[in-house]
Amino acid sequence: MTSGAPLTGRGDGSPLAPDGLDATVVLLRHGESEWIREGRFQGQAEAPLSALGRRQAALAGERLARPHASPALPVPGGLPREIVHSPLGRAADTARAVALAMADLRTGGEADAAGPPLPVLRPEPGLLEIGQGVWEGVTADEIGRRWPAEIAGWRRDPLAMHAPGGESVAEVDARVRPALARVLDELGRDYPRGTTDRPQVHGYSGAGQPAAQPWSVLVAHDGVFKVVMLALLDLPLSKFWSFSLGLTGISVVEIRGGRPVLRAHNWTGHLAPIEDELEREIADRRSRSGAM
Residues 6 or more apart in contact with residue 110 via CB below 8 angstroms: none
- Answer whether 255's CB lies under 8 Å from 25's CB: yes
Write down the pLDDT at residue 132.
98
Q: Which residue has the higher pLDDT, 173 or 212?
A: 173
Please determine, for residue 98, whether its predicted confidence score (pLDDT) is greater than 50.
yes
Q: Which residue has the higher pLDDT, 192 or 239?
A: 239
Q: How confident is the model at residue 111 (pLDDT cuts 50, 70, 90)?
A: very low
Q: How confident is the model at residue 285 (pLDDT cuts 50, 70, 90)?
A: low
- Answer whether 217's CB lies under 8 Å from 83's CB: yes
SS3 content of the chain, % helix, strand, coil (to 5): 40, 15, 45
Q: Read off the pLDDT of each residue in 216-232 and give the average, rounded to a whole number.
A: 98
Q: Read off the pLDDT of each residue in 113-140 and give the average, rounded to a whole number.
A: 91
Please determine, for residue 210, whether its predicted confidence score (pLDDT) is greater than 90.
no
Residues 6 or more apart in contact with residue 253 via CB below 8 angstroms: 24, 25, 27, 229, 232, 233, 260, 261, 262, 263
| Domains by residue range for the chain, with CATH | 23-139+168-289 (3.40.50.1240)
Please determine, for residue 220, whether its predicted confidence score (pLDDT) is greater than 50.
yes
Write down the pLDDT at residue 108.
64
Please determine, for residue 206, whether its predicted confidence score (pLDDT) is greater than 80.
no
Residue positions annotated with a catalytic role = 30, 129
Q: What is the DSSP string of 111-130?
A: S-TTSSPPPEEEE-GGGPPP
Mean pLDDT of the chain: 90
Q: Using CA atoms, how far apart are residues 7 and 169, in angstroms rounded to an integer?
A: 11
Q: Using CA atoms, how far apart are residues 43 and 221, in angstroms rounded to an integer?
A: 9
DSSP 131: P
Q: Read off the pLDDT of each residue in 191-196 and give the average, rounded to a whole number.
A: 83
Q: Read off the pLDDT of each residue in 11-38 and give the average, rounded to a whole number.
A: 93
Residue 191, helix vs strand vs coil? coil
Residue 168, helix vs strand vs coil? coil
Q: Using CA atoms, how far apart are residues 109 and 79, in angstroms rounded to an integer?
A: 15
The proportion of the chain whose per-residue pLDDT surpasses 70, expressed as a percent, equals 89
Write down the pLDDT at residue 113.
54
Q: Read off the pLDDT of each residue in 159-165 and give the average, rounded to a whole number.
A: 97
Q: Which residue has the higher pLDDT, 215 or 212?
A: 215
Write down the pLDDT at residue 3.
45
Closest-CA residue to 31 (of 47, 12, 52, 13): 52
Q: Read off the pLDDT of each residue in 21-49 and give the average, rounded to a whole number.
A: 97
Q: What angle do CA 271, 47, 276 make, to 5 degrees?
A: 15
Closest-CA residue to 83 (of 113, 105, 61, 114): 61
